[in-house]
Amino acid sequence: MKFRLIIDKEKDEEVVVTARQRTALIDEIEALISKSTDRITGYTEDDIKMLSVSQIECVTILDGKTYAIDTQNRHYRLKQRLHELEAVLPSCFIRINKSTLANETRLDRFAVTYAGSVDAVFKCGYREYVSRRCFTEIKRRLEGK
């Protein structure tokens, strides 16, 4: 099998595989390429809903389970673990603490609490604390824009 990489900033990214037959390697390549997703399956007690990534304010761990919080402050149970979601979600999702990924485009502001810690306040009103280690990285990222 041959491998060829062409970097051209002018063109859209595309992966083309020419093969004599479908193999396990080709299945693995296809899985790697199709990892980027724009929809995630969320569960409530009554419903299953396909959540658009742009609808998700943050993904967090509550009571040991993974939840997505949408723009209406509704909580949807997710079957994936946080580190799995971190690998497939777009780069606008940033880690704000050990158990939360925040959609940077849905952050409203950062609020300082009386204890001196910082909370991320989302447009839907949901609040989540920001760890000091992550806040340093977030500041660097926002100052670079």
The encoded tokens of residue 50 equal: 């396909």
Q: What share of the chain is helix, strand, coil (3-state, %, to 5)?
A: 25, 35, 40
Between β-strands 65-70 and 127-130, what pairing exists: parallel, antiparallel or unpaired?
unpaired
Closest by Cα among 134, 70, 123 to 99: 134
Spell out the per-residue pLDDT of the chain, length 145, in tens: 677 778 887 877 677 778 888 788 877 776 666 655 678 889 998 889 989 888 999 999 999 999 999 999 999 999 999 998 998 888 889 999 999 999 999 999 999 989 889 999 999 999 999 999 999 888 888 887 6
**CATH entry 2.40.50.1020 includes domain 39-143:** yes
CA distances to 56, 94, 99, 105, 118 from 131, in Å: 21, 12, 10, 19, 8
| This prediction's pTM | 0.72
